[in-house]
Amino acid sequence: MKCADDFRLRFGKQELVPIVIGGMGVDISTADLALEAARLGGVGHISDAMLPTVTDRRYDTDFVKEKLQQYKSNLDNSNKSAVKFDLGQVAEATRLHVEHTMRNKRGAGMIFINCMEKLTMNAPRETLAVRLRGALDAGIDGITLAAGLHLGSFALMEDHPRFRDAKLGIIVSSLRALQLFLRKNARTSRLPDFVVVEGPLAGGHLGFGMDWAQYDLRTIVNEIRDYLLAEKLDIPLIPAGGIFTGSDAVSFLEQGAAAVQVATRFTVARECGLPKDVMQEYFKAGEGDIVVNTISPTGYPMRMLKNTPAIGSGIRPGCESYGYLLDASGNCSYIDAYNREIAACPDAKNISVMDKTCLCTHMRNFKCWTCGHTTYRLKDTTRRLADGSYQVLNAEHIFHDYQFSTDNKIALPD
Ligand SMILES: Cc1cc2nc3c(=O)[nH]c(=O)nc-3n(C[C@H](O)[C@H](O)[C@H](O)COP(=O)(O)O)c2cc1C
């Protein structure tokens, strides 16, 4: 019986263990987690979501304080169009995080950065260009373009000296999205080095509507594989979403996948960025506690625990400090929802906003418990301790379980 270790992910001459730990913002897929994946011979992701905020916490910068200072007078203004990022600071935050991570890299694996187009930051093109180019400057092995169609993203890096040597790939949830990406980026004469095909069971935002349950990862992967074969395009395919055991991984690898991308099982790893008490919430969740809703202002459905504190929270929009979801005109659907509730209850001390959430603030504070569909199975991957809590795992243990297990078995920790 085969295990995932019988296969290899190939980038040119380089061979890797075919296990990719997916990007999880905001700093849920930490540098430590990505470094473990690379040390063990696979691919790890850091995330570029809200990096100025992350570097404040990790590397002692003051980017959020300085931004808030600059825009303090705008706090009570519902028009946020003036609230802009300092591109120099965005570049510096990217440099700090990527350089720090790459400096500590050991082993034969690779480290990629997950870069979400939906973080429009009140200047979509300019901020995306700075983030992509900053990551290349700082020596990242590769970039995974996420949360968006990225029709112009290759062009933003085209004249960068590393454009042809760094590994560049995209996450898609349909053949149509991939075809659009290939067509629009064809001018740069560069194919993606890999394509992650993310199905409807993934964590974070979904590339599907609220009818997500009608889609199936394997069907989409096979459709894209057949298309690439017919077009004679040799691009490694990496399925993601709901791959919970080594045997799940093998079933995709045997059908032609180059690797698998996984995330949910690593949300309860010691190296993951979630606070330990939040990990316990993930362990405790039953299947009925996991919901897909539309409270994210990005417009994409998002999966999360139903007791997530972000649901219903009516906090003041945090755009002067954060503002990562402000569109090109400085709008965010949470601001509208918040103002509507304030107008409806002008004398209320606390308001509740049910239809949208202030995703920047809540992701920053680990109060939006986004998770994959299989989160309810996490309790089966560990032991229950005498105090009733669940034992947090090591990333190495989980990685090796994906790499070596057979027969749908899951190895419990010592
Ligand atoms: C907590 C969490 C946060 C995530 N955040 C992101 C993200 O910021 N960007 C992204 O492209 N995908 C994100 N994802 C999706 C993962 O990278 C991955 O593709 C997917 O969850 C794999 O499926 P699995 O979780 O069932 O293993 C997230 C997933 C989880 C569980």
User: What was the pLDDT predicted at 182?
Assistant: 98
Please give the Cα distance from 296 to 311 (Å, whole number): 10
User: What was the pLDDT predicted at 337?
Assistant: 98
* Residue nearest ligand 1's atom 27 by CA: 262
β-strands 312-313, 204-205: how paired? unpaired
381-387: list long-range contacts, CB under 8 Å, 24+ apart: 381/265, 381/268, 381/410, 381/412, 382/268, 382/283, 382/412, 382/413, 383/412, 383/413
CA nearest to 266, candidates 360, 147, 106, 401:
401
Binding site membership of 22 for ligand 1 (Cβ less than 6 Å):
yes
Binding site membership of 28 for ligand 1 (Cβ less than 6 Å):
yes
* Rounded distance from Cα 148 to ligand 1 centre (Å): 14
Residue 133 in contact with residue 157, Cβ under 8 Å?
yes
Please give the Cα distance from 238 to 252 (Å, whole number): 9
Binding site membership of 170 for ligand 1 (Cβ less than 6 Å):
no
Binding site membership of 239 for ligand 1 (Cβ less than 6 Å):
no
* Rounded distance from Cα 261 to ligand 1 centre (Å): 9
Nearest atom, ligand 1, residue 147 CA: 11
**Quick one: which H or E segment has residue 21?**
strand 19-21
* Residue nearest ligand 1's atom 30 by CA: 203
User: What was the pLDDT predicted at 235?
Assistant: 98
Please give the Cα distance from 179 to 228 (Å, whole number): 10
Nearest atom, ligand 1, residue 201 CA: 26
Q: Which of 24, 45, 244 to mutate to test the pocket of ligand 1 (most atoms within 8 A of CB)?
A: 24
**Quick one: which H or E segment has residue 333?**
helix 333-344
Binding site membership of 308 for ligand 1 (Cβ less than 6 Å):
no
User: What was the pLDDT predicted at 381?
Assistant: 98
* Residue nearest ligand 1's atom 6 by CA: 24
Binding site membership of 200 for ligand 1 (Cβ less than 6 Å):
no
* Residue nearest ligand 1's atom 23 by CA: 241
* Rounded distance from Cα 263 to ligand 1 centre (Å): 6
User: What was the pLDDT predicted at 46?
Assistant: 98
Binding site membership of 47 for ligand 1 (Cβ less than 6 Å):
yes
User: Strands, DSSP E only, in 40-129?
Assistant: 43-47, 110-116
CA nearest to 112, candidates 42, 172, 56:
42
Residue 150 in contact with residue 196, Cβ under 8 Å?
no
Q: Which of 194, 252, 264, 271 to mutate to test the pocket of ligand 1 (most atoms within 8 A of CB)?
A: 264
Binding site membership of 169 for ligand 1 (Cβ less than 6 Å):
no
Share of the chain above pLDDT 90, in %: 100
* Rounded distance from Cα 13 to ligand 1 centre (Å): 28
* Residue nearest ligand 1's atom 11 by CA: 146
Binding site membership of 23 for ligand 1 (Cβ less than 6 Å):
yes
User: What was the pLDDT predicted at 90?
Assistant: 98
Nearest atom, ligand 1, residue 45 CA: 17
User: What was the pLDDT predicted at 318?
Assistant: 96
What lies within 8 Å, CB to CB, of 105 at 6+ separation is 35, 38, 39, 111
Domain residue spans in the chain? 4-269+388-404
* Rounded distance from Cα 204 to ligand 1 centre (Å): 5
In terms of CATH, what superfamily is 4-269+388-404? Aldolase class I (3.20.20.70)
pLDDT lower than 70: segments of the chain: none
